A = this chain, B = another copy of it.
């Protein structure tokens, strides 16, 4: 069951005729709590009681809305999609380097780090749960590369870089190295690291080595 399914379910029972209506904002609170616990404990370390306590809800309430722990987590991951970056207001500075540097903002970095912590808690499951894997890919993994793809395509269109650049490969450099640095090396992803990444790896790979 996905968030969309829930919305649908509710739209078929119009504005709720009698008694207290199902509160949609309650769903969001619970999903947020689930993400917090997930980031701190991982999937197996997370218990339904933890989530209920964090959301100040009863365990029964969670089971009234989601049929199982797994479905709750899938839904939580799917709803993690656009917590920070809106695709509409991406920077457009006129240069590839300008666009990439403009993405380095503390809130964006924090958002990415939380998502990575959630991902870390899920990875061992992803190999065995295709539905969860799909939710994670759509919500977390794809958007990061998509933004880079957009920047690169713009740069090609304006003639800044060669159209022969392997966009698929280059757009994954930053997600790969940020993820590895966080999850494997446990080192901070700070502005200095990201600037180095742009100037020493990404720009040279598109032929903007010294010209930038």
Contacts and interface: CB of A to CB of B under 8 A. Distances in A.
A169 B128 CA distance: 32
Contact of A180 (B45, B175, B205): B175
Contact of A123 (B137, B183, B197, B209): B183
Interface string A182-211: 011110000000001100110011010100
A177 B166 CA distance: 14
Interface residues of A, number: 41
A187 B207 CA distance: 26
A64 to B, nearest CB: 27
Contacts of A45: 124, 128
A133 interface: yes
Interface in A110-131: 117, 119-128
A141 interface: yes
Given A42-B125, A169-B201, 17 more contacts: A42-B44, A42-B127, A45-B128, A122-B124, A123-B123, A123-B124, A126-B183, A133-B186, A141-B184, A170-B200, A172-B180, A173-B177, A173-B201, A176-B177, A200-B205, A204-B204, A207-B209
